[in-house]
Structure 1
């Protein structure tokens, strides 16, 4: 049973008590990510996530790390396009300590110059490491092709140029402007009772920050573009992007089933046709990214540059047959059972429950029970998947390619 509580200042707390475990997961979810950035401060959300671990007025960076290591706990964070999350997982008897350290990081990080410079070097190396993984950066290239100058097309890591401009003052101002109470959800899952809500409220329930009106970026438009980069790689990395559905869309479970059948598993159409039947690629898959005001279905595969034409034709032929035939009764049944199985297994993890509840509260403001989700999965039909397939896989798509050679005909 999920308990929801809204503090006087607007901070939302969601708690799911799980008495059968001995752990507690706590997450601070802030509705701020690269979508809230500008070309001048791109990457600041991610850099801020790093700096929250670099020391507070009472704890140094080492002390923050040791406070969790010494009790066998875990602490980490991540940044996405639309939100940032700081989270910890500890034994239930250390829950209060974990909450105290997370709140200290949230409110009292110092962003001192010495740590700032060291962490800039760390993120420079992270950007370089990312550049060495073309099968990752091709997805950023696709986002830029699809969303052009909208912030959804920005890379989460930012660039070396923007990173070099960040100062202690710019970080503090960004926190002041963006880490406001109305944007914060504290999600807890594990072996703690409702009294823990009072502990959270004591730490987070009274702070105030700027509520001045902030300019919005506007709804993202889906664009049809073809972008490529020449890079000395062993393979050509290809991404196709189609317009998908926003978070909370009524057809989202039909889309999840559709994606599962198309490229979400080893038995999927793309995996079987591209890898098993033709041996064209080691890696081939599809996935859906859902945002507040839009979504994208991505197909990725990597192959030798000399096989790029055959790979592209195989993907297009697979999509053509998929649109023409729809899915079979067996595929529908297997996909539904696979989804239910993944859902049930994820419920065994306090981290997964904390994440699910935090994201649902932050992005949707509501929570579905397990029975409600299973019911929605069961309502997916061959017809609903067929309709969605033909609505999504049109000629209006974008292409991104990273390849060791230039001039591939598919980009003309």
Structure 2
């Protein structure tokens, strides 16, 4: 990346190892990706990945939570776990001299977490507090109800934290079963970046993880990973409205959009940059600067293995809710009929490529991006393909994508009764 070579190898146990040498600082970062996450959870167990990630660093068969924390802090390192829609993640950052020790600790966390009942209960309570807090935030309420409308029974419909009902029912036994199912070497990608030679990194990973065997069936063959039977995501545009006595109304327009392997993915990424990235974006300039409608206005288009979604949203005064909705809808419909000018298109490309370059400055960022691409099965050359493809996108490509995806929107509104009444009058 930025002319840095990513070295790739697969261990005999199926674990994928990536290494990017970068001696600029005496730091080594590692990202260990597990192909798990929200997509792999049963709907009735939403939040399972988040709870597992929260508890995974809180004790192993051999070490207590306090002992783990002391080992990390004694060398000034950082170690943490997280969960996302399409993966779980264990992150390490340390000076190069302590990397081997921290990698051994990470391996112990991955392979033999204890899921102590007291820690599970504590993290469950914290998660339930987080869920309650989200229910008081208009943006979160609008986003959650929009996602539920978009995805129905697909796991993407639910927030990463889960719901009060699902989290309350999770047990240490559920965590152990999920861990046993997905935390296995042939379902892991470890990406390392920093002051370490690739050959040394590969040998270290093999030493630490090489004896971790794939689970076997009774006949001695490797136990296959579960085949997900996810429901198809079918278009069903609808309105979702929640009254909430707030000082601003949140209006969202949502559209089902392409997954990461689609040829439309990068065009949608560029379109997202044009519409909603920063103070020079189309939505900010038109709806906030020129019309004064917005406290906040933007767009987002998450990268997903399965069908993704494209959202344009605005936070506005209740009196302006209907006008703001029409403004958003007008901007989305405009893309179907009016080509971006050469200047608009080039500015969006420059911004996207600039932001992309800035996202690859540190060893942690380098480890993250190469490991993420591998986990999504895009290939380690995707970094080059991304930078080659963006300049080739034409205004006609953007218009075609807008016509393909931005037809009838899903609408999500959270606001006062007055805001809702005004929006209902323009509903069509």
- TM-score (normalised: structure 2): 0.90
Deviation at 1:155, TM superposition (A): 1.7
Alpha-carbon displacement from aligned partner over 1:29-50 (angstroms, at most 9, x marks no partner):
1111112122321111110011
1:6-405 aligned at under 5 Å gives the runs 6-194=10-198, 195-205=200-210, 206-209=212-215, 211=224, 213-368=226-381, 371-395=384-408, 397-405=409-417
1:293 and 1:113 map into 2 onto residues whose CA distance is 34
CA contact (8 A) 2:40 2:155 kept: yes
2:245 and 2:79 map into 1 onto residues whose CA distance is 37
Cα distance change of structure 1 residues 364 and 212 upon mapping to structure 2, 3 Å threshold? closer
Alpha-carbon displacement from aligned partner over 1:360-398 (angstroms, at most 9, x marks no partner):
101124022655432211111122122222222212x21
Alpha-carbon displacement from aligned partner over 1:189-239 (angstroms, at most 9, x marks no partner):
111112221221233333323536444214433331222222232221121
Give 3-state SS (helix, strand or coil) of 1:315's partner. helix
Cα distance change of structure 1 residues 30 and 369 upon mapping to structure 2, 3 Å threshold? closer
2:231 and 2:7 map into 1 onto residues whose CA distance is 33
Structure 1, gaps ≥5 residues long: none
CA contact (8 A) 2:254 2:309 kept: yes
Cα distance change of structure 1 residues 124 and 204 upon mapping to structure 2, 3 Å threshold? same
Alpha-carbon displacement from aligned partner over 1:36-69 (angstroms, at most 9, x marks no partner):
1223211111100111021112322223223223
Deviation at 1:352, TM superposition (A): 1.3
1:167 and 1:112 map into 2 onto residues whose CA distance is 11
Alpha-carbon displacement from aligned partner over 1:144-181 (angstroms, at most 9, x marks no partner):
01011111112211122222222222211111112233
Cα distance change of structure 1 residues 19 and 300 upon mapping to structure 2, 3 Å threshold? same
Give 3-state SS (helix, strand or coil) of 2:303's partner. strand
The answer to which of 341-350 and 279-288 deviates more is 341-350
1:193 and 1:104 map into 2 onto residues whose CA distance is 24
Cα distance change of structure 1 residues 303 and 220 upon mapping to structure 2, 3 Å threshold? same
2:320 and 2:132 map into 1 onto residues whose CA distance is 28
1:292 and 1:219 map into 2 onto residues whose CA distance is 13
Alpha-carbon displacement from aligned partner over 1:331-380 (angstroms, at most 9, x marks no partner):
11111111222222222111111111111101124022655432211111
Give 3-state SS (helix, strand or coil) of 2:181's partner. helix
The answer to which of 179-188 and 295-304 deviates more is 179-188
Give 3-state SS (helix, strand or coil) of 2:43's partner. coil
Structure 2, gaps ≥5 residues long: 216-222
1:199 and 1:222 map into 2 onto residues whose CA distance is 48
The answer to which of 382-391 and 348-357 deviates more is 382-391
- TM-score (normalised: structure 1): 0.94
CA contact (8 A) 2:51 2:120 kept: no
Cα distance change of structure 1 residues 142 and 97 upon mapping to structure 2, 3 Å threshold? same
2:83 and 2:322 map into 1 onto residues whose CA distance is 36
**Could you say what the CA RMSD is over the residues aligned between the two structures, in angstroms?**
1.9
Cα distance change of structure 1 residues 219 and 83 upon mapping to structure 2, 3 Å threshold? farther
Deviation at 1:126, TM superposition (A): 1.7
4+ aligned runs moved over 4 Å, structure 1: none
